[in-house]
Structure 1
Amino acid sequence: MLKLLVKTALISTLFIGSAQIAAQPKAHIKLGMSVALSGPASHIGQQLKQGHELYFNYANQQSDIKQPHIQLIALDDGYEPSRAVDNTQYLIRHQHIDALIGNMGTPTTHAIKEILKRHQLPLLMPYTGAEFLYQNPGFPIFKLRASYLDEAQEQVRYLVDELGHTKIALFIQADEFGLTLEKSHRQALKNKGIEPVVIARFRRNTNDIAKALTQILTTQATAIAMIGTYEPLAAFINQAHRGGFRGTYTSVSFVSSASLFADITVPAHVMVTEVLPDPNTCHGDICNLFRNLSKAHQQTMTYQSFEGFVNAYLFSKSLQHCDYTKLSACIATAMPRTLSTDKSLQSLLNQQQKSTSQRPVFRSYLKY
């Protein structure tokens, strides 16, 4: 039987599958992942990792000898750019990975872009909608999720067109992630003839929100677009309610809506844009398989674990269009072909949505 190998507490090396060694396909693919498995954003990284593993485990157990064995090596970067750089270098030099998949975060992804350029290493379906990834970044890439501009436009459509807000504040993480979303929200608001009433910032991986809270509460803002991880955003909403704010909040898919909603302890009206439909209620083969496998393994179903699962599904199905010995050269171009021809993926991404974006944007709500 295949065994789970753990190099350190920070490294999860998964040989996925339990088929007999004699029945394993000869081809072997190594994928790397750098996500937050510890720290304030760890729930996001843990769920992403879990979702990828759930499908790869399933795929490796299938009897199709044409499918290669997929090994996922997930490293913890704590949502810190310097650690993401170290992880990427380790994965390339010592693990000789074929591609990165599901990497988490704008600042962490931005920090490794020169490494990816130098090695021409594919970056597949990163958990970020940063605009620089949509503008020929100089290395092989495939993006499944909507861009942050798509998400910002959907939030502004909701706040302005549907709810009538015109006095909107921005509460943003002070790094590349926040800067990307600041630009996106400014552009989306400008298209409606609106400027933010204030832009307040806080430091990444902290709940240091007091100054930003004061800045926003001293304005006449009736809505706040929030950019960050779930802990500081929930803390802000809880404290803003105690400070008298009764307006509307929005945030982007990165936040993990389930974690955000769980940490909010006051009455609040929050809309979070999502890049996939609700895994608990969506329809189709992929949704059904995800729910069945999650229940069988007693795993919680979240947007993040579902996104990881869909990423792994799309990667596995794209292998039929690639020469395994030249995977790094072909996988990023094979995946669009799979996306356009796989009926299960088309059914998933074309489910009912309010968004008019080219890439689908969905919504989740907290209202009480």
Structure 2
Amino acid sequence: MLKLLVKTALISTLFTLAAQTTAEPKEHIKLGMSVALSGPASHIGQQLERGHELYFNYANQQQDAEQPHIQLIALDDGYEPSRAVDNTQYLIRHQRIDALIGNMGTPTTHAIKEILKRHQLPLLMPYTGATFLYQNPGFPIFKLRASYLDEAREQIRYLVDELGHTKIALFIQADEFGLTLEKSHRQALKDKGIEPVVIARFRRNTNDVAKALTQILTTQATAIAMIGTYEPLAAFINQAHRGGFRGTYTSVSFVSSTSLFSNIIVPAHVMVTEVLPDPHTCHGHICDLFRNLSKTHKQAMTHQSFEGFVNAYLFSQSLKHCDYTKLSACISTAMPHTLNTDLALRALLKQQQKSTAQRPVFRSYLKY
């Protein structure tokens, strides 16, 4: 009888301790981010980080004492896959993050996919439209962006249907990012019965575009779809103008239209597809809040900082539907619900929509 009482008391104590452990409030929600904070693509990563931080700081100030604060730990990978792998392992092992948010780049994201599978770590709103993320990647994921195929189709629709181009060249970064978009543009062109006149490549994180430019100038191309970061693409456009090219350019949202346009020093006609409306002119609660907070904190308003801000808003609103102690298992399924029910988000994504893609595709232009 005594043994039974002792055993019963021990079990009761264990259940009490387990309940206390489960009920213990979570002080911080830790989110990791691996982006380029240095190197040729640093402006993109810096703006993404600032946009996330802008909203998270605001959200933390609005929360009551019982709610955990959101902590963003952003690490620099220089847009290099090997550094993204190191960052991800550090964030998991030493920071014990709940999820990754806003990771930047196709090659860097592709490099960490096996780590994400092994740990079943959520990848939330990565700054890439890579195809493999839309094909059951094997880990929890939520994507806010249009796919790169959607962006490619919008560009080809613009070049072919609206401007009448049929001789289109591809200027492509030679890595996983370029390969993904080469396939997307080939498919979009094939849908119009067109093949690219030439595919010219350059090395990631360099401005070594002279060889690719020579390849394209020897063809009769009248338009060029470009895939890369803003520095080499701007260098290409500036050199192409000096070489006599006067056609049309397009690029995908990854490039950062703000940075690209500011680095072009020659007359050019460029269209960049975007995944969100222009933060300077859009309307509604999220746009107003972004502009007000950016002005208060004297931050530049770019598409990248706005995307980071929207990501952070969506994440914060989705927390209402999750148990904080089980966040990693819940958040990637809570976010689609928030996207479909949050009136501010729904209003934002319906503005100026110019495509029939599942996620909207918008446009930015440089014409002079």
Q: Is the 8 A contact 1:77 1:87 kept in 2?
A: yes
Q: For 2:269 and 2:221, how far apart are their aligned partners in 1?
A: 14
Q: For 1:31 and 1:178, how far apart are their aligned partners in 2?
A: 28
Counterpart residue type for residue 117 of structure 2: K
Q: For 1:173 and 1:179, how far apart are their aligned partners in 2?
A: 8
Q: Secondary structure at the match of 2:315?
A: helix
Which residues of structure 1 form unaligned runs of 5+?
Answer: 1-24
Q: Is the 8 A contact 1:172 1:199 kept in 2?
A: yes
C-alpha distance after superposition, 1:202-237 (max 9, x if no partner): 000000101000000000000000000000000000
TM-score (norm 2): 0.93
Q: Is the 8 A contact 2:202 2:212 kept in 1?
A: yes
Q: For 2:63 and 2:130, how far apart are their aligned partners in 1?
A: 38
Q: Is the 8 A contact 2:257 2:272 kept in 1?
A: yes
Counterpart residue type for residue 91 of structure 1: L
Q: Secondary structure at the match of 2:97?
A: coil
Q: For 1:278 and 1:309, how far apart are their aligned partners in 2?
A: 13
C-alpha distance after superposition, 1:164-188 (max 9, x if no partner): 0000000000000000000000000
User: 2:173 — aligned with what?
Assistant: 173
Q: Secondary structure at the match of 2:59?
A: helix
Q: Is the 8 A contact 2:55 2:312 kept in 1?
A: yes
Counterpart residue type for residue 266 of structure 1: V
Deviation at 1:27, TM superposition (A): 3.6
User: 1:356 — aligned with what?
Assistant: 356
C-alpha distance after superposition, 1:31-52 (max 9, x if no partner): 0000000000000000000000
Residue 148, structure 1, aligned to residue 148, structure 2:
yes
User: 2:7 — aligned with what?
Assistant: none
Q: In 2 relative to 1, CA 57–213 (structure 1 residues): closer, same or farther, beyond 3 Å?
A: same
Task: Tell me the C-alpha RMSD between the 2 structures.
Answer: 0.8
User: 1:293 — aligned with what?
Assistant: 293
Q: Which has the higher helix share?
A: 2
Q: Is the 8 A contact 2:273 2:363 kept in 1?
A: yes
Deviation at 1:107, TM superposition (A): 0.1
- 1:200-239 paired onto structure 2 within 5 Å: 200-239=200-239
Q: Is the 8 A contact 1:213 1:240 kept in 2?
A: yes
User: 1:12 — aligned with what?
Assistant: none
Counterpart residue type for residue 103 of structure 2: N
Q: Is the 8 A contact 2:175 2:204 kept in 1?
A: yes
Deviation at 1:65, TM superposition (A): 4.0
Q: For 1:26 and 1:40, how far apart are their aligned partners in 2?
A: 38
Matched residue count:
344
Q: Is the 8 A contact 1:77 1:83 kept in 2?
A: yes
- 1:19-168 paired onto structure 2 within 5 Å: 26-65=26-65, 67-168=67-168
User: 1:251 — aligned with what?
Assistant: 251
Counterpart residue type for residue 114 of structure 1: E
Percent of aligned pairs with the same amino acid: 90
Say which is worse superposed, 184-193 or 349-358, in terms of deviation. 349-358
Deviation at 1:26, TM superposition (A): 4.8
Residue 344, structure 1, aligned to residue 334, structure 2:
no
Q: Is the 8 A contact 1:229 1:256 kept in 2?
A: yes
Counterpart residue type for residue 82 of structure 2: S
Q: Secondary structure at the match of 1:129?
A: coil
Deviation at 1:355, TM superposition (A): 1.4
